[in-house]
Amino acid sequence: MSDAVEQANALLRERGYAERDLAVHAGPRGKALLKGNKILSPLSDDAEVVLRVVQDLVPSDADLGAKILRPAELRAKL
């Protein structure tokens, strides 16, 4: 589980996000939380699902610009 969290955070750093803006945190029972200033509200799911969201759906910080990610829109694209 921590591998998925570490991978997701490494991807977010590569894409230019500071931890306060967007990061994945380990939660209880294999869950992970994607949260920060660049997402409207935290996205919580299995760590592997959150990793997939980061890999496939989160744009680079430069591409996101002043926009805010919305968890409902990310879930709809899964």
Answer for the pair 19, 28: CB distance below 8 angstroms, yes or no.
Answer: no
35: part of which helix (H) or strand (E)?
strand 31-35
Q: Is 39 helix (H, G, I), strand (E, B) or coil?
A: strand
Answer for the pair 22, 41: CB distance below 8 angstroms, yes or no.
Answer: no
Please, which pLDDT band fits residue 1 given cuts at 50, 70 and 90? low
Instruction: Please write the tens of the pLDDT for every residue from 21-74.
Output: 999 999 999 999 999 999 999 999 999 999 999 999 999 999 999 999 999 999
